[in-house]
Each structure stands twice: as structure tokens, then as C-alpha cells.
Structure 1
Amino acid sequence: MSEPMTAREEWRRYWATVLAAMIGMSFYTVITYSLGTFIGPLEKEFGWSRTALSSGLAIFAGISMLGGPFVGMALDRFGTRKLAIVGMILASTALASFSLLNGSIGQWIALYVIYGVVALAIKSTIWSAGISSVFTRARSLALAFVLSGSAIGQTFAPVIANKLIVAVGWREAYIWLGFGWGGLALALLVPFYFDAHARKAKQVRASTAPVALPGLTIREATRDSRVIRIAVANLLMSIVGSGVSVHLVRVVAENGMTMDSAVDIAATAGIAGLVGKLGCGWLLDRVQGSVIPFTGFAVGAFGHFLLIGLFAGAAPLMLGAMCVGFASGAGLQISTYLVSRYAGLRNFGAIFGTISSTMMAGTAIGPLLAGSVHDLTGSYDALLMMASPVMLLCAMLFIGLGPYPEFPQPALAE
């Protein structure tokens, strides 16, 4: 019986798969984090309200919520490589097609429906399951790098979109984001992205036996209090976090910053998110307990408080944006890793796909809530004052989860 690989050996063998998945994950977030930059030009050209503009992301999130469990079950059975490649081709084309907008809200909604359906194949569940299937010793750090793709998107999508809009207009900006960013991701996926299912298929093409992995059944997971607490924390975080993140450029701008300064400040949230993912990823491979999960979420409570604008100047707003970004990055990394440990890998796709769906439910509600609050009150202050205590409650849910369970290895058929 062969000895398990060390963390260094895992990285030496699978680093290219991590890189491809990271860029794939970054593209998935482009449509979300670039919207704040497109709001101004679309408002000006079509006269749409911010609630109407936010409705697109609500539809996208709703489709992801409903489709998440089915995607999870599909990847548990068939693997993630084929889903990811086909999904990237279709999603990049769908994003570029936003350049065809003609002022009809119906068309706006239809494009988001199309994008939401095809993007199911490139959501975080796909990348998390693929990487978890090939990494064991260095799983948390590998997941951190992959999920840092969302931080890359959060950092660069608004900046790149803003520069493209200024240089070539919003229509061409959608085309460049779709085929440029999506094309880069596809160019990496085809030669480099291979999960455990694809690697086994290459080695034993005649075999039809599934890869046997330890973990909870789906029914057991629905009754496990630890899994439920992780799911609830992510639902609440996603409601307030997505609302603020999508409107972050406008939140900062309405606190006295110019548009360029607001874009730059909002971009720091992505950088902080990257730090949150990688820092927590490195620590979770080495330290078990509640301190890291609690801190990762609690930092967000402080960040939302600073964004209210009670303190003058750009520095508090930048620190607030960075805290919000750190919490967003750390939260997704922490939750993905903890699900892989507390629920195991036997039905990871279906279980995390369902939790991801609760997160997308929050993502569907959050931007609409933020847009509605602004339309009704003329500011985002009420949203931000609600967000701080909600994030603190999320942090409390991670206290006392207990040690990671040891799952028996399922027997393999000869």
C-alpha cells in the first residue's frame, strides 16, 4: 500500500490544477464585482433605478441557489473537468452578450437568466470539489488559492471595467471582460485542470467503479448541527455582505470620494480578501478551533461599521472596505474547508452545493435590499448599521464546533 503524499508532493503534482481553478473562479465573480462600475453608465443611458439594476444579480443568485444541489450531485458522479470547460465557454459568451442591451428591462432579466444557468458549471462548488478531491495534506491552503480567485475578481474587475468603460464604452467593456477574461480561464482549464475523477479516467478508462471517499450521507448532513450552523452563518453573511460588496463603489463615493478614488478604495477589499483567504488557508491546515473562524467573520462587523462614514477622511473608508473584503474572503475559505472536514468528501458536492445555494439565496436578497434601502432613504446607512450585528452573530455560530470527525474509509469493490 502506497504512503500518502506529503503537502509538498501534492503541490508539486497539482499546482497547475490550482492555478487553472483560481482563474476560473475569478471569472465567475466578474459579473458581480463589475456591476457597481456599470451602474453609472447604464443609469445614464437607460434611466434604470438601482433596484432594477440589482435585480439582475438577484436572478443570477436565485438560479445558482436552485441549481446548486443538482450541480453538486452531478459533479459527485461525473467529476468537474467537463462541466468546467463547457461552462466557461458558455459563460464567457453570455457575459459578452450584455453588450447587446437596448434599454429593455426584459432583455436585462433574460440575459441574467441565461448567464445564471450556464454559470452553474463554473461556480465555487465546482472548483472546491475538484481541488478537495486531489489535495489532502495541503487542502486548506490549496482551497485558499482557488477561492482567492474571487478576491482577484473583486480587486481587478471594477478597475478593469472602469478603464474599459472610459476607453471604449460600456458595450465593448462587456465584450472584453467576457472573451478576454473568460478566454484566459479557458486557455488554462483545457491543458491543466484535472480533478480526481478525470485523473482516474485517464489511468483506468475501462473501469466504471466510482472513487470511494469517506464522509456523511446527505441525510446525516441535514441532521448535523455543525453543518447546519455553518450553513446559517453563510446565509446571513451573504445577505449583508453581497449587498455591501456589490454597491461598495457607490457606498464609498457617497461618503465624499470621487469616482476614481471610490474605485481604488473598493479595490482594496479584493486585496484584503486575498489576504483573508490565504492567511486563513495556511492557518487552518495547522490549527483547529474556533478562533480563526470567529475572527474571520467578526472583522466584517467592524468593517461595516466604519463604512457608515462616522469618521472623516478616506482612511476609515479604506480600512472599512478592507475589513469587509477580508471577512468575505476568509468566510468563504473557512466555510468550504470546514464543510470538507465536518461533512467529509463522500457527498461533498451535494452538501456544499446545498450550502452554496443558501449563500446564493443571500446573494439574491442582498443587492436588492441594498438598492431598495438606497432608493427609499437616499443612503446606505441603514444597511450598514444592520450589517455589523449580523456579522457578529455569524461569528458566534462558529464557537464550539468541536474536533474534526474521523470517517471510516468505504470499502472498494475489487
Structure 2
Amino acid sequence: TQTLFPCSFETAGSHVIQVQANVSDSILTDNQFAAALTIWDEIKVLLVDGAPSSQALQGETDFLSVALTPYSFARVTLSDLVRTQTVTSDKIKPELLADFRVVVLANVPRLKDDQVDALRSFVEEDGALLVFAGSGIDTKWYNDKLFASGNGLLPAEFGVPKGKIDDKGQSARIVAQHFDHPSLEFFNEASNGDLSTAEIRQWYELKPTTPEAVVVARLDNGDPLLVERAFGDGVVMQVATACDADWSDLPMRPFFVPMMQQLVTTLATQLTPPRNIRTGEPAVALFTDAASTQPDETAYEQNAPLLSIVTPEGARQTIRSVPQGKRLTARFEGTRRPGVYTMTTPDSQSFHFVASTSREESNLDVLDELKLKSLADGLSAKVAVSPEEYLAQDYLRRHGREIWRYVLLGLLAFMFLELVLQQRFSRVRT
């Protein structure tokens, strides 16, 4: 049974929500569920249009812009999480990139060397880059400068183009599989859209050759459609086809809006350590501090800010942060009890973590003999079917098995045998 509870938050940042069911059962502790949420005020996305047009929906990023900011284009009172700005490739500069969380290259032919350096620094310092193919890209330049034999930004090398946009070539479709990547998990629920209904008429073969590259989605001919890799503190995702309607009918599909929003928002947020963890897992927070850019890194590491953390029992502890690139990392290992842990920085910024046990622990069904034996064998354990048997096994484990009786009997038997042999040999001598 699913129930929808609309929630609104007054401020952006870290929050905790909790749901409690008022029922009477044998396990009261699992009648409540808490979750830590990070509420974003907005995610700023820079769209770099490689083929702009003055006509409506004819530019390379027009469909993408509509998908990311549907409320703005519909002119309704609701606000979009994403705020976009569209520029041409000549506008890419470090000072521009600094204002954005995600940068999208859409059919951009090529860039200058200083622009590549700016993008590289942007991604290394916790930025996200999304690269779409298209008819105008210079694949040789992309492979030489952005892939760079696996040492550049791109997770995969561009191969040969496949398909035809004039319907004379063989088209492909997205494999309808169970998606493990956070950006596509939304579509594991059939009611949210079927990605396999889209027709991809033209695409580039992508060749991921580095162990860091992860294929997020494939076409039904086996070619990768989405490939991702971590780069520095940031992430890069590469798409084999274009984001407009020239190479596919993706923009015409109802799921295009949530698909693009899922891709962009996941890229913007996935490098943040998880706030909902299992008991025993570390609570990790990344944050920035004005002093983290000072030149003496060694001195700063010794004097990194102290954070306080409040445990579910109300106890307060202090932990020291550690520099990690341009950011600071705070790590707390003592999440042994379930509940909410609140970490606070010196400037009063709070991070909430919810530690929970597995929901399977609330399953009180008795295991059958076969499953019980299999579990015991896997743990190299023995099954005690009664309290008496358990006490006997526990006594044996603590004190060992009594063998003195057997030793005494053996000694008596040996003495008796010695006596018999002595009498026999004495008769022989006589």
C-alpha cells in the first residue's frame, strides 16, 4: 500500500522527515521510519548550444531547456528546481563556470585549449559535465583532447557513426532492463515510462576503455548509450546521441522530461555522501570553508575545523575535519545505534544522518529446517533445538569435553595388560 504525503520546507539544506504508524504489534520499534533529505534551493545548469537557432525548438538545446524548466515555459506559479542559462561555446570561461553546478555540451564542435582546461578544473572541483553527441562534433578532436587515451574528461572514445536520420538505416532502442544507476532507477517503475519505446535513428559508437567508465544504459544492438566516469571530485556523463529531435524521437516521448531531469539532478547531487546509512556505516559530510584555499595545506590540515555531532542518545562528540581537495571531509564512525545523527560545522551548518537497521530484522517468520541448516552451515554453527541442548553445547564450548574417565580406563587396562604379560613371560623362563 502506498500513500502520498506532500511535504514542503521553508528553507533549503538538510532536513529529516519521519513517519510513524500507530498500530499495536510485537515490535514497536519498526513502526516508524525516518529519512534524511537534502533540499536544494535550485540547481544552476549551463547549456552550451553547439547549433543555436532563432526558430522555436530548432536550436540544439531547446528541447532540453524545456524539459529542465517546464514550469517556466508553461508560465505557471510553480517553480523549477533547475535554472538554466544557454550560451554558445565561445562564452565558456572559468568565471562563468564557477556559477553553475552542471555544464551541458550539446553538439559542440570543439573548444579552445584554455576552455578545455577550464572545464577540467570545473569537473575536478566537484562539477558535473554532460556531453551530448550530434552531427557537428569533431570526433577526432574529442578523442584527442577530451578522451586523451583515457586520461581526459570523457569516459569513452567516440567511434564510428551508426544509423541514418533519413529512415534508410537501422534504428535502435534503449534496452528495457532493471536500471541500477540512480539517474534511471525512476524508470524501474513501469508507470513512470518505458524507455524502450524511443527510436534512436543515429548515434555514435562509444568505446569505454578505462576501468573508471560505467555503462549506465545500452541500446538493443549492444552499443552503450550512456557512459559515466568520476573525474577528480566531479563526474562526467557521455551520451551517444543528440538531445534534439534530429537523431531520435526522445524529445517527443512523455518520459523525456523526467529522464533529462533525473540525469541532470543526479549528476549534480550524486557525489554527495549518503545521508541515509546502515548502523555501523560511517557518517561522512563534505563542506567548504573559506580557509581551505590557503596556500599552506600542511598547516591547514593540522588546524582543520572541528565539528560537533549529536547522537540519537543526545550525547555530543567532537570530530576534526580533513582537507580533501578544495573541500573538507568530516567522518564519524560511531553509528552503532539507529536514529538521527546531527553534525554541525563551526558556522552552524547542519548535516543530518539517519542510521537504520535492515527491515528484514522485523520478519518474525520461523525458518524451516532446510533454511535453518543452510544458515548454520554458512556460519559454521550448530543448531540447538532445546534449552537443554544449548546449555550442553555451551558447557562444552566453555569447559571442553571430560576425558579423564577414558584416560583412567586406558591406564587400568594398560596396567592389567602389563601384569598379564609379566606372569606369562615369567612362566616361559621357568
TM-score normalised per structure 2: 0.23
Instruction: Please say which structure displays the higher CA radius of gyration.
Output: 2
TM-score normalised per structure 1: 0.23
Which has more helix, going by share of residues? Answer: 1
Which has more strand, going by share of residues? Answer: 2
